[in-house]
Structure 1
Amino acid sequence: MEIKTPKEVLYQVLQTIHSVSDKRNTMPILSHVLLEAKEKELRLAATDLELAMETKIELSVMSQGAAAVPCRKLFEIVREMPDGIVHLKLEPEFSLRISCNDVLIRLKGLDPVEFPVFKKPEKEATSQVKARIVAQMIDRTIYAVATEDMQFNLSGIHVEKVAETGEIRFVATDGNRLSLVDRPLDLFIPEGLSVILPRKGIVELRKLLSAEQDSISWGIMDGQMVVLTSNYSLYIRLVDGIFPSYQEVIPRFGPNRARVNREQFSMALKRASLLSDPRFLGVNLGFSRQGISVASNNPDLGDSAELIPVDYTGEPVSILLNPRYLIDIASCLENETVLLELNDGSSAVIVRDPGDEKFLGVVMPMRV
């Protein structure tokens, strides 16, 4: 294998694909990137068996062939190369010769035949959707994904079709908060299949969507979600688990309602969290017609209190909440104001976006 390509072209691709490769070193080949030169293009692929990504770039191919070298190390080498044409040539014992101008580096690799084979999806099994809509759905749910390894069935975004509307719903929860959003997208979900996209796959998908101006294709088959963008193919293995019945944690009706400036509310929560007790990170919120009192207390540091304006209807309510949960929701919304619905100080709080009736956030109260 021997190829030549501008440094910037190869660097941009490796920058996107290197984070997919396995860093746990469970199998040596999984930390490698596959380079496969054919005719006038180079195919690059990386995987950790839970997630896989591949792409192709047009370049000058002097001789066809394949190589497998450490993915992150190749990325770092190309990143530090001077501007110019990068020359890659496979040498004996799977070593890759990398040169640019007067720089020459040899990188040891493995036999490329060890690299896992991806099963290609049939084009008929995918449907087209707007990239910006999927990106927005991810932004409005990913912060609620559980980070604890033991909660494997909560460690991703649940994807389902809403029976009443036919819309696609993204749902995420870590047991303390929940976020869901519906959008009219086309996606076939096999009957009886629990679709949970793992966090790492969601993060990589979101990166790809940032570069897409129009549509992508996606589909669910063989236990994975396949996403095809203009330059990349992404294969996300579904989490092997059943997403919990989340509907029962959503309060039916909150008789006490507050409309507050989103930015003002978020900043008040950030200030209060600076002095919240690290043992439980709670902030006291008092809702009344006079405003929302935001207070925190830390025996070792001090305390804080402020009152922010609110349009409030209902009875006075005092509740202890984790400010980070409310800040995360406020950060992903776009409307100038945010709506909160409360029952009492011991029940979950509903958070809504006045400009998006298909979004819903739920935050559970803290108990001391």
Structure 2
Amino acid sequence: MIFITKKSQIAESLQNASAIAERRQTIPILANIKIKTNKDQVVITATDLEVQLQTTIPKISVEEEGEITVSARKMSELCRSLPENENLKFELLNGKLHVSSSNFIADFATLSANDFPELEVNYEGGSLSASSGLIKRLLTKTSFSMASQDVRYYLNGLLLEFTKEGVKAVATDGHRLSVANSKKLDYKGEDLKYILPRKAVLELAKILSSDDEIVEILFSDSHITIKKTNLIFSSKLIDGKFPDYEKVFPRGKESSLIVDKTILQSALSRSSVLSNEKYRGVRFTLSINNLKLTANNPEQEMAEEEVDVMFSGGPLEIGFNIGYLLDVLNVIETDKVEMLFYGEESSCLLREPESTTETYVIMPMRL
């Protein structure tokens, strides 16, 4: 195997593959990426047996075809550290992958590509098409609410719902809920619900572009695959029943608060410095057109700040986790944010004013 490429052609593919490759090295070859050459292209594959990424790099000068596996982390880090327009020559010599540039030479240990496992995927459920930017937006707007190591394994992922009305992404860790939906999807099939694993969601959100490039989504009962130009991303699905998130939305008489997003973000960041490091709580005290934030900790330290808001409801005191509030504010794009309160014991609903495209629910905490 011999091929020549520029760093700029291969670096991003190596970095994306490195993020997919298994880090715990329970099976040594899963820490590797497979590099395969044919005709004028290089195909790079990485998998941890749950998620798999295959990237094709076209217009490569291939002198000799072949395939081999090398360390994903080492290859990615090496390539990233080289100058941008550096020409790289990859050559398989005596069982090692020889990489050379104008002033640099490296030999990488290899494992046979014949031993490299790949996901076995079948697609019995059908397919649909959507813009890359649409899927990326839905994932980015909700993924922060996923659980990470919850015993309720179905919470360690994100629910995708496809209906004739559009597509919806839902994530919850039991303390907060994020829902994003879009009607910009022409889907005429039966209603579908799939739970994507946490790692698949986070990597897809990084890999997908924000433009209108059309991607193809293929699915079965156990796998989902997203195909775009020169890229195939596959993942196992979480086999479980996602909770009925509609029941989480608070009901009853609501009191609306509208506040400048940047001002609230800054005030919460200051309050977090003196909040309890374990629970990170902040108390909201609401009165007509006024919000008082109070945070304290076991060291008897305290922070208090008043913020001008638009609020005409009755007096209210309620506590929240500062981190949960900041996570929501970080994905809201408007200058203002609306918070709907339903009483001191009920969850709070956050959204962009006069918009229902994305909705966030945060449970209160006792302080």
Normalised to the residue count of structure 1, the TM-score between the two structures is: 0.91
Q: 1:124 to 1:320 in 2, by over 3 A?
A: closer
Superposed displacement of residue 59, structure 1: 0.8
1:259 equivalenced with 2:261 (yes/no): no
Say whether the 8 Å CA contact 1:286–1:292 is kept in structure 2.
yes
Superposed displacement of residue 350, structure 1: 1.1
> What whole-Å deviation, never above 9, does each CA across 1:107-148 have from its counterpart, x for those lacking one?
111110111235577799433212222222112111111122
Name the structure 1 match of 2:77.
76
Say whether the 8 Å CA contact 1:288–1:316 is kept in structure 2.
yes
What is the Cα-based RMSD across aligned positions, in Å?
2.3
Name the structure 2 match of 1:314.
313
Give the number of aligned pairs.
Answer: 364
Q: Output the amino acid matched with 1:34.
A: K
After the TM superposition, which of the residue ranges 110-119 and 68-77 deviates more from structure 2? 110-119
SS at match of 1:126: strand
> What whole-Å deviation, never above 9, does each CA across 1:235-282 have from its counterpart, x for those lacking one?
121123221122222112342221111221222111111111224221
> What whole-Å deviation, never above 9, does each CA across 1:4-60 have from its counterpart, x for those lacking one?
112221223212221110001021111111111111111110000111101111211
Alignment of 1:156-235 (within 5 A): 156-161=157-162, 166-184=165-183, 185-186=185-186, 194-210=193-209, 212-221=211-220, 223-235=222-234
Instruction: State which of 88, 93, 101 in structure 1 corresponds to 2:90.
Output: 88
Q: Output the amino acid matched with 2:34.
A: L
1:59 equivalenced with 2:67 (yes/no): no
Say whether the 8 Å CA contact 1:181–1:359 is kept in structure 2.
yes
- The CA distance in 1 between the partners of 2:248 and 2:99, in whole Å, is 56
- The CA distance in 2 between the partners of 1:278 and 1:189, in whole Å, is 48
Name the structure 1 match of 2:118.
117
Say whether the 8 Å CA contact 2:47–2:118 is kept in structure 1.
no
- The CA distance in 2 between the partners of 1:291 and 1:10, in whole Å, is 54
Alignment of 1:300-339 (within 5 A): 300=299, 302-339=301-338
Q: Output the amino acid matched with 2:320.
A: L
Q: 1:259 to 1:84 in 2, by over 3 A?
A: closer
Name the structure 1 match of 2:288.
289
Name the structure 1 match of 2:105.
104
Name the structure 2 match of 1:362.
361
> What whole-Å deviation, never above 9, does each CA across 1:293-335 have from its counterpart, x for those lacking one?
1111224152111211121132211001111111111110112
Superposed displacement of residue 203, structure 1: 1.4
> What whole-Å deviation, never above 9, does each CA across 1:180-225 have from its counterpart, x for those lacking one?
011122468876x751111211111111223645332223225122
After the TM superposition, which of the residue ranges 344-353 and 306-315 deviates more from structure 2? 306-315
Query: Unaligned regions of 5+ residues in structure 1, if any?
Result: none
Q: Aligned residues: percent identity? A: 28
SS at match of 2:111: coil
> What whole-Å deviation, never above 9, does each CA across 1:52-76 have from its counterpart, x for those lacking one?
1011112111111111111111122
Name the structure 1 match of 2:35.
35
- The CA distance in 2 between the partners of 1:170 and 1:336, in whole Å, is 24
Q: Output the amino acid matched with 2:15.
A: Q
- The CA distance in 1 between the partners of 2:139 and 2:357, in whole Å, is 14
1:24 equivalenced with 2:28 (yes/no): no
SS at match of 1:265: helix
Superposed displacement of residue 102, structure 1: 4.1
Name the structure 2 match of 1:3.
3
Normalised to the residue count of structure 2, the TM-score between the two structures is: 0.92
- The CA distance in 1 between the partners of 2:171 and 2:17, in whole Å, is 26
After the TM superposition, which of the residue ranges 197-206 and 117-126 deviates more from structure 2? 117-126
SS at match of 1:367: coil
Q: Output the amino acid matched with 2:145.
A: A
Q: 1:27 to 1:279 in 2, by over 3 A?
A: closer
Query: Unaligned regions of 5+ residues in structure 2, if any?
Result: none
